[in-house]
Amino acid sequence: MLGRTANGIFWMFRYLERAENTARLLDAGFRMALTRGAEEATEEWKSVITTLGQRSRYDALHGGEYSLYQVCNFVLRDKDNPENVMATIEAARTNARLCRSSITAEVWEAVNEGYMTLTELLARPVRESNLGAVLSAIRREATLVRGATYGSMLRNEIYNFARAATFIERADNTARILDVKYYLLLPSLAYVGSSLDTAQWDTVLRSLSAERAYRWLNRGQMDPRGIAQFLILDERFPRSLSFCYIALRNNLADLARFHGHEGRSHELMREADQRRTSMTIQEIFDRGLHQFVVDFIASNRAIADAIAEDYRFTG
């Protein structure tokens, strides 16, 4: 396949994953706003914007005002925010068009129909009354594309680029949430058990759609170390860093098999794997959870860059 097309596939799936993750993040913030006081809600909206890396742009536009209406519209559809969800969906579709001859009609139609549906839903400002519907539509459309991809695409390098991109984006998203919320997970006896903390932990889990799985595994109990262990190291949870990296490694291995040799991306992947598998959650805490997350985000980005280089995405 063409390097340019591989690049298009890669970004198409990164953007789709990003749109979906953003919807989860807003959903968790929305719940916080409904169940807690104004002050906590404001803090939560602030952390949503920070997690998305859109803090300075938001503050420039809206100053210190963090309301549901303003945050959601800024994140979902504000033209002054070039990274809004609608623009992300549109970028995914443009990439799909660019790679139209490398994806099946089913995948294309899922992307295109999602784009049409969301264009209509986001044509007017989103209000509290329809926010839930909009957020679930975004997740549903992304799910349909994933299903079409899984069910109709040939298992060749195109598929591997699509999947590698998905897991790089997803790992980045999980790591960003941990980056912003790490302090909640630090072991500190003083906090444990307060209702404020359980709500905060719940929000962290919800923003990764992890609350149900975590509760089920822990019989309804919550503790910060257990949450960190679950989101970082549990290989069964599809948004944990470990899960993402096992999947990423498998897709990179397929690419190496297909091409007959490994590249810089495989080297970086091995290093990252070593770091991840050699540490227990205790060691991660001992060395500093925040530093771990910061390093992870940087090395994740380095792997993405190496893939683009190894497979001649741009030249």
Partner 1 sequence: MLHCSKNWGMMSSLPRKSFDEMGEPGGAVREAYRAYHEWLQQQDEKWVRRKSAEAERFFRLTGITFNVYGADAAEERLIPFDIVPRIITGAEWRRLSRGIEQRVRAINAFMHDLYHRQEIIRSGRLPERLFRNNAAWLPQMVGFTPPGNVYTHIVGIDLVRTGPDEFFVLEDNARTPSGVSYMLQNRETMMAMFPELFQRVRVQPVSDYPRRLAKSLAACAPPSAGRNPVVAVLTPGIYNSAYFEHAFLADQMGAELVESSDLRVVEGRVQMRTTAGYQPIDVLYRRVDDDYLDPLTFKPDSVLGVPGIMDVYRAGRITIANAPGTGISDDKAIYSFMPEIVEFYTGERPILKNVETWRCADPDSLKYVLDNLSELVVKEVHGSGGYGMLVGPAATKRELAAFRKKIEARPDNYIAQPTLALSTCPVFTSRGLAPRHVDLRPFVLVSPEGIDITPGGLTRVALKKGSLVVNSSQGGGTKDSWVLAD
Site residues, partner 1 (CB under 8 A): 1-6, 90, 94, 97-98, 100-101, 105, 108-109, 112-113, 116, 157, 259, 311-312, 315
Rounded distance, CA 18 to CA 88, Å?
Answer: 8
| Shorter beta-carbon distance to partner 1: residue 109 or 305 | 109
As given in the structure block, the two tokens for residue 191 are: 């906090």
Rounded distance, CA 76 to CA 74, Å?
Answer: 6
| Shorter beta-carbon distance to partner 1: residue 21 or 160 | 160
| Shorter beta-carbon distance to partner 1: residue 87 or 297 | 87
As given in the structure block, the two tokens for residue 11 are: 């970004």
| Shorter beta-carbon distance to partner 1: residue 105 or 192 | 105
Q: CB under 8 Å to 3, separation ≥6 — which residues?
A: 311, 312, 313, 314, 315
Q: Exposed, middle or buried, 203 (CB in 10 Å: 0-12/13-18/19+)?
A: buried
Which residue's entry shows tokens 């060691």? Answer: 283
Q: Are 42 and 105 in contact (CB under 8 A)?
A: no
CB of 55 to partner 1, least distance (A): 28
Query: Measuring CA to CA, which residue among 21, 33, 24, 26 is closest to residue 199?
Result: 33
CB of 25 to partner 1, least distance (A): 27
Rounded distance, CA 142 to CA 114, Å?
Answer: 8
| 3-class SS letters over 187-209 | CCCCCCCCHHHHHHHHHHHHCCC
| Shorter beta-carbon distance to partner 1: residue 4 or 215 | 4
Q: Are 314 and 8 in contact (CB under 8 A)?
A: no
Q: How many CB atoms lie within 10 A of CB 137?
A: 18
CB of 18 to partner 1, least distance (A): 20
CB of 119 to partner 1, least distance (A): 11
CB of 134 to partner 1, least distance (A): 21
CB of 246 to partner 1, least distance (A): 23
| Shorter beta-carbon distance to partner 1: residue 83 or 309 | 309
CB of 112 to partner 1, least distance (A): 5
CB of 305 to partner 1, least distance (A): 15
| Shorter beta-carbon distance to partner 1: residue 101 or 278 | 101
As given in the structure block, the two tokens for residue 274 are: 């070593």
| Shorter beta-carbon distance to partner 1: residue 9 or 289 | 9
DSSP 193: T
Q: Are 145 and 16 in contact (CB under 8 A)?
A: yes
